A and B are shown apart, each in its own frame.
Chain A
Amino acid sequence: MADDDDCPPLAVELPPQANFPPAPASSSNSISAPVGVTVITGYLGAGKSTLVNYILSAQHGKRIAVILNEFGEEIGVERAMINEGQGGALVEEWVELANGCVCCTVKHSLVQALEQLVQSKERMDHILLETTGLADPAPLVSILWLDDQLESSIRLDSIITVIDAKNFRQQIDEHTNSSSFPEAFHQIAFADVVILNKIDLVKDDLEDLERKIHDVNALVTVVRSVRCQVDLNTIFDRQAYGVKNSSQLQELLEYSKSVPPNSRHDSSISTLCISEQDSVDLAKVESWLEDLLWEKKSNMDIYRCKGVLHIHNSNQLHTLQAVREVYEVVPAREWSDKQSRMNKIVFIGRDLDISILQDSFSRCKH
């Protein structure tokens, strides 16, 4: 074994440098903007696949990966298939999600897999996560809605649900006299964008359908389509979970729809808005929110929450965003002099009671 000779052997050629597992892009000096992830929900037949196929085939010049996941009851499956559209060419790839061991890691294996995907490609403009009949996107949101501190190469951009207009009409009619609500309402409640598809089959009813959608979720953007042919700029880069989205802040500040006259006391999903002129105390607001979202001290089932806050002793307009228990209150920008400062919070959920919400919030006043 030890040919401990004083005579050196002949040196051999250095092989061409092989590819190591690449250092993640995040360790380089230039940190590129995180890639947006859009979650697409909706039921079979609503046109989800049509939407995905349209996105992949349209000549938009963007490089988009589509992850197909069979979530079923759980999130964290073993494999996902990736389609990349490059002006027509579809490439299939398999991405293996890290095998379990959520143990003491902050990032879920799905997040790690998406980050690996982004880092392994030279360019990635957007990622679509198509879910199959996912009943409640909230757990997925809490996985993807990462803390800014993590400086991840991905960020949750928005949740889009595809609604089949004809089917939706039918569901609404079926449930009119019952205490239950159409399943589609649940999807709408958590969505940032609703694609109302197959409108060619429901010609004269669209405004009513849209109203019903906004009754459930006043903040959602409704996009009408036939065969899911939508303007892709309405789909991508919505920044729905970013703090600085100024158009959304504007929307919130201007939101003034009063409680609908037929405000039901059934268990339907609805949107409510509360407002308060005076400044509020940040610590009180956080406790108030936590009583509602964490301690669940009321009978209300709050799905989502979005608002603008006028915090005492701050020149910064603060935004509030919550998806079930996960919430965040952060300073967004300076109040402009032209704007009158105020608090406005929109709630989406079940069994919402505006007087409870309004009264308890007013106790947060400074």
Chain B
Amino acid sequence: MEKGASEPSPLDCARCGKPASLQCPKCAQLKLPREAAAFCSQDCFKAAWASHKSVHTKLDALTSQLSLEGWKYCLKKGRTRTLELPRFDWTGPLRPFPISKMRLVPDEIEKPDWALDGIPKIEPDSDLQKRVEIKTPEQIERMRETCRIAREVLDAGARIIKPGITTDEIDRVIHEETIARGGYPSPLNYHFFPKSCCTSVNEVICHGIPDARKLEDGDIVNVDVTVYYKGVHGDLNDTYFVGNVDEASKQLVRVTYECLEKAIAIVKPGVRFREVGEIISRHASMSGLSVVKSYCGHGIGELFHCAPNIPHYSRNKAVGIMKAGQTFTIEPMINTGIWRDRLWPDEWTAVTADGKRSAQFEHTLLVTETGVEVLTARLPSSPDVYPWLKPSSATSK
């Protein structure tokens, strides 16, 4: 990517490769990728028309249907919507698609304080941002229950994943399964986030917004679920395969899974939080992969995000030592290419700076007197989707 405010590289004719000065008007109207729409002359354009025009029908049908139903692109963290695909120097093949209207949550469900206006009030000013809470047995019991519900909800979403399904449909399942159990989907309206879970496809690192895009054979997709139930949050995510994926993607997902597994293995009282990053970073680099540095694990409980901050990279200055009764997440994001990330115009979706794929796994953990309890652990009923896991093992992570 070119540096700074300079223009993107000049476009070449999609048919012959010479420098282009014209574009297909239909593509311009539909905001389709410019690379396929640029032409050097009317003649080239005419000659290419027969095969080129199919690009329009695909998106034309989709967008007209969607905009009729009120689906639009997300901007400004969810505070606004737009009918047109935003302008951006996309780092990979993926593009945002319009999103559906915000889903509703029944009145009787207990909601966190951002549900109404999108702004958390208690969380930012809480003392729990500065010190790590030791949960009471009562709080721990609630967290066990909520985390188990979150696992059931994620599993339900995972079961519908296949080519042709949109991430919006996954979101709908997550949303409905959550409220059916009496919970609130924590991401919904958290700092205006427009959906009930995050769906991160391919080069998206995290915080992808469920939209109208259909999953394609060969994709990888992470689904990140947090449920708020009985006053506490439970947070987890898994990366899934869509249809048949290539070896590199399988490797990426497996190594990421192992990074989390190895990190969890060291959790016990007396271990420094900063050690987590060392473990993850070591395993990732041994496999030739990189670690995302902009996002970290976090404390969780009655607040969605609180102390401690747990970076996943090595040589960090994280403060604190694990103690029994603490609950927090570890959620490594591992990239095929470089570690750097960029933010999409929606101001949520984080993508790899080089457009290569990224995977993630997450658990909510409880430090016990002797070690760790994985509150969001896989259940015997969890879908058996990872070749490296023995099926129906209750203690498997």
Which of A's residues lie within 8 Å of B, judged by CB?
A: 1-2, 4, 6, 8-14, 17-28, 30, 74, 76, 98-107, 119-120, 122, 145, 147-150, 290, 294-295, 325-328
Q: Interface readout for B33-54 with A: 1 if CB under 8 Å, 0 if not?
A: 0100011011001100110010
Judging by beta carbons under 8 Å apart, are B53 and A4 in contact? yes
A27 engages B340 (CB within 8 Å): yes
User: Could you list 16 A-B pairs, sorted by A, with CB under 8 Å?
Assistant: A1-B60, A2-B61, A11-B25, A12-B25, A14-B23, A17-B10, A20-B8, A28-B2, A30-B3, A102-B124, A103-B190, A105-B295, A105-B296, A147-B311, A149-B315, A294-B321
**Given A28-B3, A103-B191: A9 touches B294 (CB 8 Å cut-off):** no
B390 contacts chain A at the CB level, 8 A cutoff: no
Q: Which of A11, A74, A105 has a CB less than 8 Å from the CB of B23?
A: A11
CA distance in complex: A9, B39 (Å):
13
Contact of B294 among A107, A295, A325 (CB under 8 A): A107
The minimal Cβ–Cβ distance linking B159 to chain A, given in whole angstroms, is 26
Q: Are B60 and A2 in contact (CB under 8 A)?
A: yes
Residues of B within 8 A of A10 (CB): 25, 42
How far, in angstroms, from A1 to B63 measured CA to CA in the complex?
12
Q: Name the contact of B317 in the complex, choosing from A26, A27, A76, A327 (C-beta under 8 A).
A: A327
Q: Is there contact, CB below 8 Å, between A101 and B60?
A: no
Which residues of B from 1 to 44 have beta carbons under 8 Å from A? 1-8, 10-11, 20-26, 28, 34, 38-39, 41-42
> Which residues of A have CB within 8 Å of B129?
102
Partner of A19, one of B5, B34, B293: B5
B119 at the interface (CB under 8 A from A): yes
State the CA gap A328–B319 with chains docked (Å).
10
Closest 4 CB pairs of A and B: A8-B49, A28-B3, A11-B22, A23-B1
In the assembled complex, how far is the CB of residue A110 from the closest CB belonging to chain B, in whole angstroms?
14
Taking A4-B53, A27-B342, A147-B311 as contacts, is the C-beta distance between A104 and B3 under 8 angstroms? no
Name the distance in Å between B133's Cβ and chain A's nearest Cβ.
Answer: 16
A103–B8 Cα gap in the complex (Å)? 33
Name A's interface SS: loop
Contact indicator B42/A11 (Cβ below 8 Å) = yes
Give CA–CA (A17, B129) in the complex, Å: 44
Tell me, rounded to whole Å, the shortest Cβ–Cβ distance linking B3 to chain A.
Answer: 4
Chain A nearest CB, measured from B324 CB (Å): 15
Residue pair A104, B23 in contact (C-beta under 8 Å): no
B20-A22 in contact (CB<8A): no
- Contact in complex: B191, A100 (CB < 8 Å): yes
Q: Range of interface residues on chain B?
A: 35 or more
Q: Please tell me if the beta carbons of B294 and A14 are within 8 angstroms of each other in the complex.
A: no
Question: What's the Cα separation between A102 and B315 when bound, in Å?
Answer: 21
Known contacts A27-B353, A106-B309; decide if A145 and B3 are in contact (CB<8 Å): no
Interface: B151 (CB within 8 A): no
> Chain B: residues with CB nearer than 8 A to chain A?
1-8, 10-11, 20-26, 28, 34, 38-39, 41-42, 45-46, 49-50, 53, 57, 60-61, 64, 77, 87-89, 119-120, 124-125, 129, 190-191, 272, 293-298, 304-305, 309, 311, 313-317, 319-321, 329, 331, 340, 342, 345, 347, 353
Closest Cβ of chain A to B95, distance in Å, is 14
Chain B residue nearest to A324 in the complex (CB): B319
**A74-B125 in contact given A1-B64, A27-B342 (Cβ < 8 Å):** yes
CB < 8 Å: which of A9, A22, A103 contacts B4? A22
User: Measured between alpha carbons, how far is A328 from B39 in the docked complex, in Å?
Assistant: 57
Are B45 and A11 closer than 8 Å at their CB atoms? Answer: yes
Q: Give the residue name and chain of the A residue nearest to B8 (CB).
A: A17
B38 and A14 form a contact (CB under 8 A) = yes
Contacts of B60 in A (CB 8 A): 1-2
- Min CB distance A1 to B, Å, is 6
Contacts of B21 in A (CB 8 A): 13-14
How distant is the Cα of A76 from the Cα of B320 in the complex, in angstroms? 23
Say how far B41's CB is from chain A's closest CB, in angstroms: 8
Contacts known (A104-B305, A326-B319); A27 close to B23, Cβ less than 8 A: no
Q: Which one of A25, A99, A149 has the highest number of Cβ atoms from chain B below 10 Å of its Cβ? A: A149
Evaluate whether A104 and B26 lie within 8 angstroms (CB atoms) in the complex, with A20-B89, A147-B313 already known. no
B-chain residues with CB within 8 Å of residue A4 when the two chains form the complex: 53, 57
Q: Which of A9, A104, A120 contacts B331 (CB 8 A)?
A: A104
Residues B28 and A20 in contact, CB atoms below 8 Å apart? no
Chain A residues near B89 (CB-CB < 8 A): 20-21, 23
Q: Are A13 and B22 in contact (CB under 8 A)?
A: yes
| Residue contact A28 to B1, C-beta cutoff 8 Å | yes
What's the nearest-Cβ distance from chain A to residue B357, in Å?
A: 17
Chain B residues closer than 8 Å to A149, beta-carbon distance: 293, 313-316
Asked whether B331 lies within 8 Å of A27 as measured between CB atoms, the reply is no
Question: A23 with B317: in contact, given A1-B60, A102-B124 (CB under 8 Å)?
Answer: no
Give complex CA distance A144, B208 in Å.
28
Which of A105, A106, A148 is packed against the most chain B CB atoms within 10 Å?
A106
In whole angstroms, what is the CA distance A330 to B238 when docked?
36
Q: Is there an interface contact between B319 and A14, defined as CB atoms closer than 8 Å?
A: no
Nearest B residue (CB) for A24: B342
Assess whether B317 is in contact with A14, with CB atoms less than 8 Å apart.
Answer: no
Known: A23-B342, A294-B320. A106 touches B23 (CB 8 A): no
Quote the shortest CB–CB distance from A172 to chain B (angstroms): 32
User: In whole angstroms, how far apart are the Cα atoms of A268 and B269 in the complex?
Assistant: 36
Inter-chain contacts of A20 with B (CB < 8 A): 8, 87-89
Most B CB atoms within 10 A — which of A4, A74, A100, A294? A100
Min CB distance, B278 to chain A, in Å? 11
| A147-B315 contact given A4-B57, A28-B3, A122-B4, CB 8 Å threshold | yes
A28: chain B residues within 8 A (beta carbon): 1-4
Residue of B24, B50, B297 most packed against chain A (CB within 10 A): B24
Considering the chains assembled together, what is the distance between the CA atoms of A325 and B318 in angstroms? 9
A17/B45 in contact, CB under 8 A: no
Please name all residues of chain B whose beta carbon is closer than 8 Å to the beta carbon of A25 when the two chains form the complex. 3-4
CB of B307 to closest CB in A, whole Å: 11
Is there an interface contact between A11 and B319, defined as CB atoms closer than 8 Å?
no
Q: How far is the CB of A14 from chain B (nearest CB, A)?
A: 5
